[in-house]
Amino acid sequence: MNMHRKQFTTLALAAVATLTWGTIGSAAAQGAYPSKAVTMVVPTAAGGTTDLSARMLAQALAPVLGQSVVVDNKGGGNGNIAASIVKRAEPDGYTLFMQYSGYHVISPHITKQKQWDQGDFQAVANVISAPQIIVVRNDLPVKTLAELIAYAKANPGKLNYASSGNGSLQHVTGAMLEQQGGIKMVHVPYKGTGPALQDLLGGQVDLTFGTAPPFMPHIASGKLRVLAVTGKERLPSLPDTPTTAEAGYPKVDATSWFAVFVPAAVPKPVVDKLTADIRTVVQSAAFRQKALEQGATADYQSQQQLGDKVKADLANWADVVRSSKIEAE
């Protein structure tokens, strides 16, 4: 009996020791986070607002984390390529995902072969929010949204518009404008706003929809013309540009958000640290001013707030996709 008791005691002590050292080791590992460079995967090519949001955050976050943050553009597949990479990444906090709302809450409604699920990711924090703007090439003979609608009606099927991909918010905004304006345009999807912008500047497409940051220099130089803002208020950076509501199309209302996610299994202490550090960055006066100058808003939202927003937007955009009759291409 004594022998059995001794064996049990020895085994129990060994188990406690293993658990204790394992807990200490885990805590130490988490306490040391980050001990190396962090990669931020972006689901678009360089040049669009998703990319700009990632680079703004990476630059400001690096000194707060004490490690470099490397932006890695993996455009294509309506965000599926990047999402698949992050989904399969080690859940250690060293792979972040700067996600674009269109890919996160619209694309799932029109993708026939799903490569990821909402449960594959854990929300960390929202970083940037921005309304869409309607931008045309400078030699298109329209100066207002009303003139664009009239031109489209006079030239049915001749206008084409670029987007950052099938199911992107740009695509849905174009479909909403077609529906509300009673017009028909040709949709030309790209692998991100950057390539779409280049073809708009080159005259290969007539117009596009997108968040303001990548378009601002070209609007200022006169190479592009902005017709309207799809949000509820005018942008401080474009004070003379009316909203779609002011132009007579209140139902053409679209705002994008750009937020950080990580693989679902990343430990809570690591996610909490990332959330806190991103909050510090996004709520700083310098970051807020830089976002404002770009035509966007520094819009920190916590894990819980971002998670709730994703659920609400998934439901809302399902209705828009259905009413706009958008299908996978």
Give the pLDDT confidence of 4-47 residue by residue, as tens digits: 444 434 444 344 334 433 333 333 344 589 999 999 999 999 98
Distance CA 136, CA 183 (A): 16
For the CA atoms of 105, 186, 296, 223, the dihedral, rounded to the nearest 10 degrees, stands at 160
Ranges in the chain annotated CATH 3.40.190.10: 131-229
59 dihedral zone (left: phi>0; alpha: psi -120 to 50; beta): alpha
User: Which amino acid would we find at residue 147?
Assistant: E
Cβ atoms within 10 Å, residue 309: 19
Give the pLDDT confidence of 139-163 residue by residue, as tens digits: 999 999 999 999 999 999 899 999 9
Residue whose tokens read 């995967």: 41
Distance CA 135, CA 174 (A): 11
Distance CA 57, CA 40 (A): 10
| Model pLDDT, residue 23 | 36
pTM above 0.85, yes or no: no
DSSP tag of 107: G
Q: Would you mind telling me the total number of residues written for the chain in this entry?
A: 329
Ranges in the chain annotated CATH 3.40.190.150: 31-130+257-324
Of 7-16, 87-96, 201-210, the one with minimum mean pLDDT is 7-16
Give the pLDDT confidence of 218-263 residue by residue, as tens digits: 999 999 999 999 988 899 999 999 999 999 999 898 889 999 999 9
Distance CA 42, CA 284 (A): 23
Q: Which CATH superfamily is domain 31-130+257-324 in?
A: Bordetella uptake gene, domain 1 (3.40.190.150)
131-229 classified as CATH 3.40.190.10:
yes
| Model pLDDT, residue 31 | 57
